[in-house]
């Protein structure tokens, strides 16, 4: 597997593909055990949001090296309706759909760095990083 991969997200099966490819890349960077599960779960949450709210988008997976540390960066991009209130969307339990509202805040907790940019009518970009510790 290369150090960079993009997965198109259009249906539920693509969520599984993104999760698997993210896990493989994270393993090649040196993550193991529970860290792999955390990364795969965060990818699943964000990819599922694309399917549910934007219908299509993509997830870019990259190995990253910065300041003598290695990690993985995941960038999820869609051209969906956008998020009207990001602060509210980041609250546990808030959902505009029929979900438990764990997606965005849950993914933020699982990763070391999390950033979200959204513009109404243009789409949303979520950038997440996880650093290998030890």
CATH number, domain of 67, equals 3.30.565.10
Give the pLDDT band (50/70/90) at residue 120: very high
Q: Is the CB of residue 64 less than 8 Å from the CB of residue 70?
A: yes
Domain that holds residue 80: 2-131
Give the pLDDT band (50/70/90) at residue 67: confident
Q: Is the CB of residue 43 less than 8 Å from the CB of residue 37?
A: no
Query: How does the average pLDDT of the chain come out, rounded?
Result: 90
What pLDDT is attached to residue 103? 81
Q: What pTM did the predictor assign?
A: 0.91
How many domains does the chain contain in total? Answer: 1
């Amino acid at each position: 597997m290369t150090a960079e991969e993009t997965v198109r997200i259009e249906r539920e099966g693509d969520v599984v593909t993104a999760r698997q490819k993210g896990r493989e890349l994270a393993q090649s960077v040196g993550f193991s055990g529970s860290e792999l599960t955390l990364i795969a779960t965060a990818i699943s949450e964000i990819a599922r949001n694309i399917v549910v709210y934007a219908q299509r988008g993509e997830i870019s997976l990259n190995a990253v090296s910065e300041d003598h540390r290695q990690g993985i960066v995941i960038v999820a991009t869609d051209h969906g309706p956008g998020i009207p209130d990001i602060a509210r969307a980041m609250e546990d339990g808030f959902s505009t759909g029929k979900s438990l509202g764990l997606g965005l805040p849950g993914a933020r907790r699982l990763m070391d760095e999390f950033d979200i940019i959204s513009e109404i009518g243009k789409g949303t970009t979520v950038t997440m990083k996880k650093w290998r510790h030890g």
